[in-house]
């Protein structure tokens, strides 16, 4: 009898301990996630920063402008791919009246690195207009209108920059092609972290784009582009928003945003895969978008829908996880979509379909929530704890 009671006690304590671990991991998840978002990742920038010298604002016009800049000591190099012109190690206060660095109508090779640029007023810290073949590396551009702006530019590598606390966007790219933006921090800008419009062949890779006033990543009329492993969390409205065709969004985090984690609108033939869009109002939102593939995404704990299709047709929504939302998947005025092999647990409604026809729903795992999971788990934990205490007291008697 004593042995049996001991087994019961040990089993009860084991269950309580296991549930305690589950509860702890669930309830501290948000805090750990936010802390990881906000951790001081300036090592990315600081490891390359060195002592810089004060400079007046710089303006270079045309290829000949580089020759003049070199003659006056602004840059080094010769403008070839193996020996580009280099502007580096400068601190520029634009005095609120002009760009810190302005370059136009240039197609020779150059690099700007390790510069601190601020106080450009209504102007970007760096403005590049009809410029090709440049690298922007380890630049700190803050308290400007845009941190960095490219317009009508091609063949750029923008890496390891700090573009935060600007009045509009951290990085603004307009009517450009073959631009790579990687390893940069674009946070706490008044409007958008990284804004790309009317461009193609853009790669946005492993950037931190958090806590911006409106959106983290906002891409409009963009084609044949890739967004990979970016963090776009805690933004004022949307984490990632994109319109355009033949784009690939993979491995991004778009959580804790006020409205949408990932928003796809007026977009066809895109792939949205392996992203995390949790703890938003809506997780993944498609509107007026057709023939897209949405697969292996996580869209949990959103206030309304994990995944929603609005006026969107012939999309494939497969193998996603959308748990603990009001609606797991919503189909609103959306026809002929394939909804299959999704895991939809703990939602008030598994699949919410209205004003829609011809959708194929197959092999989805659905289980409706009966109560708020967190409170249920805590209640069960409390009951088991009391039971364990009672058993122990009875054995001692």
Q: Output the CA–CA distances (angstroms, integers) from residue 319 to 109, 338, 343, in the order listed.
A: 45, 11, 7
Q: What is the mean pLDDT of residues 119-135?
A: 98
The pLDDT value given to residue 183: 98
**Per-residue pLDDT, 322:** 98
What pTM did the predictor assign? Answer: 0.84
Q: Are 207 and 194 in contact (CB under 8 A)?
A: yes
Lowest mean pLDDT among 147-161, 164-178, 373-387: 373-387
For residues 114, 120, 125 and 131, what is the CA-based torsion angle, rounded to 10 degrees?
-130
Question: How many C-beta atoms lie closer than 10 Å to residue 14's C-beta?
Answer: 11
Spell out the domain ranges in the chain: 2-37+379-396, 43-208
Q: Which helix (H) or strand (E) holds 156?
A: strand 154-159
**Is pLDDT of 390 > 50?**
no
pLDDT, tens only, 230-289 = 999 999 999 999 999 999 999 999 999 999 999 999 999 999 999 999 999 999 999 999
- Fold of the CATH domain 43-208: Pectate Lyase C-like (2.160.20)
DSSP code at position 334: -
Whole-number pLDDT of residue 95: 95
Q: Tell me how far apart the alpha carbons of residues 223 and 226 are, in angstroms, rounded to a whole number.
A: 9
How many angstroms separate the CA atoms of 150 and 131, rounded?
8
Candidate from 27-31, 287-291, 327-331, 389-393 with smallest mean pLDDT: 27-31
Q: How many whole angstroms separate alpha carbon 170 and alpha carbon 208? A: 11
| pLDDT exceeds 60 at position 65 | yes
Task: Tell which residue, 267, 186, 263, 183, has the closest CA to residue 222.
Answer: 267
Q: What percent of the chain has pLDDT over 70?
A: 80
Helix, strand, coil percentages (3-state) for the chain, rounded to 5, are 20, 40, 40
Please name the helix (run of DSSP H) or strand (run of DSSP E) that holds residue 113, with its range, or none. Answer: strand 110-113
| Dist. CA 65–CA 117, nearest whole Å | 21
CA–CA gap between residue 237 and residue 239 (Å, rounded): 7
What are φ and ψ of residue 251, in 5° steps? 70, 20
> How far is it, in rounded angstroms, from Cα 249 to Cα 272?
5
Q: What is the largest CA-CA distance in the chain?
A: 96
Residue that the structure tokens 């996603």 belong to? 320
Q: Does residue 393 contact residue 372 with C-beta atoms inside 8 Å?
A: no
Angle among Cα 123, 126, 130 to the nearest 5 degrees reads 100
Read off the pLDDT band of 368 (50, 70, 90): confident
Give 8-49 pLDDT, tens digit per residue: 444 444 544 444 344 333 333 333 333 343 344 444 444 444
Spatial contact of 240 and 216, defined as CB atoms under 8 Å apart = yes
pLDDT recorded at residue 304:
98
Please tell me the predicted confidence (pLDDT) of residue 295: 98
What's residue 388's pLDDT? 53
> What per-residue confidence (pLDDT) applies to 23?
38
């Amino acid at each position: 009898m004593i042995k049996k009671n001991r087994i019961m006690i040990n089993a009860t304590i084991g269950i309580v301990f296991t549930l305690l671990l589950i509860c702890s991991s669930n309830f501290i998840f948000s805090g750990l996630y936010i802390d990881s978002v906000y951790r001081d990742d300036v090592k990315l920038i600081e490891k390359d920063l060195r002592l810089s010298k004060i400079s007046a604002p710089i303006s270079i016009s045309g290829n000949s402008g580089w020759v003049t800049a070199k003659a006056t000591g602004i840059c080094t190099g010769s403008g070839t791919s193996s020996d580009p012109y280099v502007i580096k190690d400068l601190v520029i206060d634009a005095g609120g009246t002009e760009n810190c660095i302005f370059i136009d109508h240039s197609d020779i090779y150059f690099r700007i690195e390790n510069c601190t640029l601020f106080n450009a007023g209504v102007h970007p810290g760096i403005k590049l207009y009809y410029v090709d073949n440049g690298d922007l590396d380890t630049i700190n551009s803050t308290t400007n209108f845009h941190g960095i702006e490219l317009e009508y530019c091609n063949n750029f590598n923008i890496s390891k920059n700090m573009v935060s606390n600007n009045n509009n966007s951290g990085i603004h790219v307009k009517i450009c092609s073959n631009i790579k933006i990687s390893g940069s921090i674009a946070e706490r800008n008044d409007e958008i972290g990284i804004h790309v419009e009317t461009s193609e062949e853009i790669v946005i890779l492993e950037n931190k784009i958090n806590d911006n006033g409106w959106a983290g990543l906002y891409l409009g009329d963009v084609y044949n582009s890739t967004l990979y492993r970016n963090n776009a969390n805690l933004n004022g409205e949307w984490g990632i928003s994109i319109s355009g065709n033949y784009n690939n969004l993979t491995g991004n985090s778009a959580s804790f945003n006020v409205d949408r984690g990932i928003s796809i609108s007026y977009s066809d033939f895109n792939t949205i895969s392996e992203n995390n869009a949790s703890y938003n109002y809506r997780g993944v939102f498609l509107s007026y978008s057709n023939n897209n593939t949405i697969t292996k995404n996580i869209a949990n704990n959103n206030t309304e829908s994990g995944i929603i299709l609005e006026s969107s047709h012939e999309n494939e929504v497969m193998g996603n996880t959308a748990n603990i939302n009001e609606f797991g998947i919503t189909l609103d005025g959306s026809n002929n979509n394939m909804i299959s092999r999704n895991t939809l647990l703990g939602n008030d409604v598994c699949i919410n379909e209205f004003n829609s026809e011809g959708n194929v729903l197959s092999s989805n795992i659905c289980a409706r929530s009966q109560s708020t999971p967190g409170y249920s788990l805590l209640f069960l934990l409390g009951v088991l704890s009391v039971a364990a205490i009672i058993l122990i007291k009875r054995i001692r008697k």
